[in-house]
Amino acid sequence: YSGKKPAQSVTDGMIGMKVGDFQSIPVVVNENVTVYDAICQMFLDDVGTLFVVDQSSFLSGVLSRKDLLRTSLGNSELDKIPVHVIMTRMPNITYCKKQDSLIQVAKRMIDQQIDSLPVISAKEEGLEVVGRITKTNITRAFLSLAEDHEL
Ligand code: ADP
């Protein structure tokens, strides 16, 4: 006996998948760091998206690879531009919570053509960044379904 669930229960498995079970550690930078330092941070932490926080450590924006590339083109003063000038900012940030369904999050990623979402915990004064969901996490979840079931 393989210990795997029957193929018919794949649907139940999919519906039950939650953000909290598949999320990664978020990489955050302060909104006053320079574009130059943000690029270094992206390489150091090996991520494709940085989340930006304000002085109170609440979510204020998102920086993607292309946001940084676009700014780098023809710009020699990357060490003088703070990231808050170029980031995608609140309230235009798509985020999710730990208990959200992974399927819903995958749909939002596809509909809005984004690679990742911050996982947040809502406080009275703002949104605390507690995790990160990327297309890699979704792929990992997809694979875990295949591994958990007799296919
Ligand atoms: P890239 O720009 O490297 O292809 P994305 O597809 O993730 O990476 O980002 C596309 C654009 O959407 C960027 O301008 C980025 O700032 C923005 N973006 C990325 N993630 C989010 C998000 N969760 N909510 C809102 N905007 C986002």
| Number of folded domains that form the chain | 1
Q: Which residue range(s) make up the domain with 144?
A: 5-150
Torsion of CA 38, 42, 44, 46, to 10 degrees: 170
**Residue 36 belongs to a domain with what CATH number?**
3.10.580.10
CA of 120 to the centre of ligand 1 (A): 17
- Nearest CA among 6, 15, 24 for reference residue 148: 6
- Per-10-residue mean pLDDT for the chain, 151 residues long? 85 93 98 98 98 98 98 94 98 98 98 98 98 98 92 82
Q: Tell me if 37 CB under 6 Å of ligand 1.
A: no
Distance from the CA of 41 to the center of ligand 1, in angstroms? 17
Q: Does ipTM top 0.90?
A: yes
| pTM of the predicted protein model | 0.95
Residue 146 alpha carbon to ligand 1 centre in Å: 29
| Cβ atoms < 10 Å from Cβ of 151 | 10
